Amino acid sequence: MTATTAPRDSRWIPWTFVIGFGLVFVVNGLLIWFAVSSFSGVAVEGPFDRGRTYNTVIAEAKRQADLGWRVEIALEGKRVVASVVDRDGAPVDLLAVEGRLVRPVERIADVPVALAGAGGGRYVGAVDLPKPGLWDVKLTFETRRSGQRLQTVTRVIAP
């Protein structure tokens, strides 16, 4: 007598490879979609021109550091509050404080903000942000007397 063995039912093995590779393609496709739709990759406006004129960027940063101004920026509810003092701690009298809030990761339109003097080196401006989370507050300060300018960027978290 010969012993007969039942044939193995292994038709499912190729399908595990097909399903496995299909899953890899779907996950990779989702990762590519999230990468392309979230961050544009642009860190500064006009990166080529800024790179060519980098010595002027360094000189401007040194000039701003020589001013000795200390700037504190906070987001209090729907208001941007900036406090500006000189190196001696005296409030800086500013002609204008303008800026914008920029979402660092998403492509959302910039939110403009103009700050008005509240006394004692404090400047306050109302802002209505479309989304909570991380925002970069980019402000430009200009003095009344000498027309000196200071630009600053501070990251804040909106509730």
Q: Model-level pTM?
A: 0.65
**Averaged pLDDT, 107-126:** 87
Residue 117 CB neighbour total at 10 angstroms: 15
pLDDT band at 21 (very low <50, low <70, confident <90, very high): very high
Q: Which helix (H) or strand (E) holds 115?
A: strand 111-119
Question: Which residue in the block uniquely carries the two structure tokens 């590519």?
Answer: 32
Q: Is the pLDDT of residue 3 over 70?
A: no
In the chain, where the domains are located: 68-158
CA nearest neighbour of 97 among 77, 118, 76: 118
22 has pLDDT over 80: yes
Residue 97's pLDDT is what? Answer: 85
Assign a CATH topology to domain 68-158. Immunoglobulin-like (2.60.40)
Q: Which residues contact 105 (CB under 8 A, 6 or more apart)?
A: 38, 39, 134
Q: Could you read off the pLDDT of 48-64 as tens digits, one per residue?
A: 887 888 898 788 888 88
